[in-house]
Chain A
Amino acid sequence: MMNRLITLTPPLTDEIVLGLRAGDRVRISGVIYTARDAAHRRLVEALKRGEPPPFDLRGAILYYVGPTPPRPGQVIGSAGPTTAERMDPYTPYLHSLGLKATIGKGKRGPEVKEALQQHKAVYLAAIGGAAAYLMKAIKEARVIAYDDLGTESIRRLVVEDFPAFVINDCHGGDYYQEGIRAYAKSGMT
């Protein structure tokens, strides 16, 4: 099985997302944003009250991460992906406002997979637990909202060649299913 290597530079367009397929390996360079559990709740509540988002959602990539505190001289601490399914209740709404990609780990629910097809968006996974490795791809980090949430605040990151895999594309492809099917013995999936 060949897995293509594709460079992504946000903001992403419909055209870029349409070209991505489950199983592609991607390298992301440019600005991405972070949010996890508590920030999602607060962000979606604010948006539904009609308040402007703390960053432009259109074409954006959102990384589910709660980094460790940086040591003096570090840009950010260890920063690997957190489990994505906890954000499922908020993700379709954010895609409806133009969010183009999320980065996490683990499976997404049917409501998210449908939203990816409807709004032309994509779900990426970074390697869970490779947090010291992934922090090296983060060149700048700045808290832009919800400072009081600590590790859960929203950060603007500048990344260079940040590695991830396309898990769910906007055509219904699901790499977790494909990958497991390829290696399962005796139909145990």
Chain B
Amino acid sequence: MRSIPYHEIATQAERLCKEANFFLNPDLARALDDALRTEPSPLGVEVLRTLQENARLAAAEQIPLCQDTGLALFFVDLGEDVRVEGGSLYDAIQEGARKGYQEGYLRNSVVSDPLKRTPGKDNTPAIIHVTLVPGDRIHLHMKVVSAGCENKSRMTILRPADGIEGVKAFILTVVKEAGPGACPPFTVGVGIGGDFEVAPLLAKRALLRLIGRRHLDPEVAALELSLLGEINALGIGPVGLGGATTAFDVFIETAPCHIASLPVAVNLACHSSRHREVEI
């Protein structure tokens, strides 16, 4: 057994919340550069350049890339040989998220009751998904869940007969309906298979992949690229003003499912998909 102190986890969670909100990940910065070389729309180019300048300002002054600093989401891969010393894993992450959002001057976007819409005292609770894995380490991956693109994400359960064509049609419809308001160019996370909650989790987790990394299964990888081409042919463009860059990438994750079901979930991330990870 390896002991990891509570405060170490809290400190790392705090740091991830701040850094995810201040710094555009290098893979997305490269995606912006690449898009500027191919985007034919003058307004699209103006938007992409503005997003570069936005990332420069946010990093230089440590201010949030976007005012919607989101809900704090953590995917935790917890080694089975880890013992958290001095408190619980959940409390450590919540404390880190609370401090990260307060001390980083990040927005409190939580309402503590979804129906009464009462503003929360701080930006907790963070959403935490724990997976037990072999080993004696903890892997924390923090994701900012902002509402503009989250609100346009969708899940459905198709008939097995709908097949790949049905899956593609659903994904394209979700992207079309999301349109300008969800801040394209998107990263499109897709979960296929599992059940009613597994497919959206797969889609969310797919968003953590680095731009340009393909699925290891060549058939899934080919589907990702073919969808990326079709999405960029929609014409939506940077923030929806028209253009050839509607998505930076499409990431698909799959899982076994019931003989009678074909679950599909599409989770969109905006042009500044914000996530950071650390291994402890």
Contact = CB atoms under 8 A, between A and B. Distances in A.
Interface string B108-120: 1100000001010
A172 interface: no
A1 B45 CA distance: 13
A167 B237 CA distance: 14
A84 B272 CA distance: 19
A107 interface: yes
Interface residues of B, number: 52
A128 B183 contact: yes
Interface in B200-247: 230, 233-237, 239-244
Most buried by B among A71, A85, A175, A182: A182
B229 to A, nearest CB: 10
B181 A184 contact: no
Interface string A116-133: 000000000101111111
A67 interface: yes
B38 interface: no
B84 interface: no
Contact of A67 (B58, B67, B179, B244): B67
Contact of B63 (A78, A84, A105, A107): A78
Nearest to A38: B117
Contact of A127 (B107, B182, B239): B239
Nearest to A150: B119
A69 interface: yes
B198 interface: no
Nearest to B69: A68
Contacts of A150: 108, 119
Given A3-B43, A106-B182, A132 B242 contact: no
B158 interface: no
Contact of B148 (A83, A178, A179): A83
A77 B105 contact: yes
Contact of B67 (A74, A80, A163): A80
A187 to B, nearest CB: 10
A186 B232 CA distance: 12
A133 B50 contact: yes
B64 interface: yes
Interface in A56-97: 65-71, 74, 77-80, 82-85
Interface string A2-25: 010000000000000000000001
A180 B176 CA distance: 11
A180 B63 contact: no
Binding site secondary structure of chain B: loop
Given A107-B179, A107-B181, A150-B108, A128 B233 contact: no
A182 B235 contact: yes
Interface in B21-73: 40-43, 47, 50-51, 53-55, 57-58, 61, 63-69
A1 B236 CA distance: 16
Contact of B50 (A127, A149, A180, A184): A127
A106 B67 contact: no
B242 A133 contact: no
Contact of A179 (B43, B54, B108, B119): B43
A150 B112 CA distance: 14
A128 B58 contact: no
B234 A129 contact: no
Given A80-B66, A105-B148, A183 B40 contact: yes
A68 B279 CA distance: 29
Contacts of B18: none
Most buried by B among A133, A149, A165, A179: A179
Nearest to A149: B119
Contact of A131 (B41, B47, B54, B147): B54
B180 interface: yes
Nearest to B271: A129
A108 B237 CA distance: 18
9 contacts: A78-B58, A78-B65, A105-B183, A129-B270, A133-B50, A179-B41, A180-B237, A183-B41, A188-B172
3 A-B pairs with least C-beta separation? A106-B181, A179-B242, A184-B235
Interface of A: 1, 3, 25, 38, 65-71, 74, 77-80, 82-85, 105-107, 125, 127-133, 135-136, 149-151, 163, 165, 175-176, 178-186, 188-189
